Amino acid sequence: MPAFTLTEFRQVVEKCFQGEAGPLDETALDATFSDLGFDSLMVYEVTVRIQDEYPVEITDDELDELRTPGAFIAFVDARLSVSG
């Protein structure tokens, strides 16, 4: 069972941006962050928060390759599965 899904991702984004998660639903999984209105700093901020809340570390180089919420969620979930 996945440990990190769209639901968890949305929760972290809402915590970062005071309840504003923007258009993050199933249809947004394969859209790029920039098309969803996330600038690069917003993606980094979400990553910092995820590292606060989950036993996971993501390097800057890895993050640069994660251009969509779907890719991001799958990466974090895989990393958590390995460490768990």
Nearer to another protein, 2 or 45 (CB): 45
Six token digits for residue 29: 């999984």
Query: Residue 80, interface with another protein (CB under 8 A)?
Result: no
Strand, helix or coil for residue 61: helix
Q: Name residues contacting another protein, limited to 48-77 (CB under 8 A).
A: 48, 51-52, 57
Q: Which is nearer to another protein, 2 or 22 (CB)?
A: 22
- CA 32 to each of CA 3, 9, 47, 49, 78: distance values in angstroms, whole numbers, following the listed order: 22, 15, 16, 20, 20
Which one of residues 3, 16, 24, 80 is an interface residue with another protein (CB under 8 A)? 16
Size of the site for another protein (CB under 8 A): 13
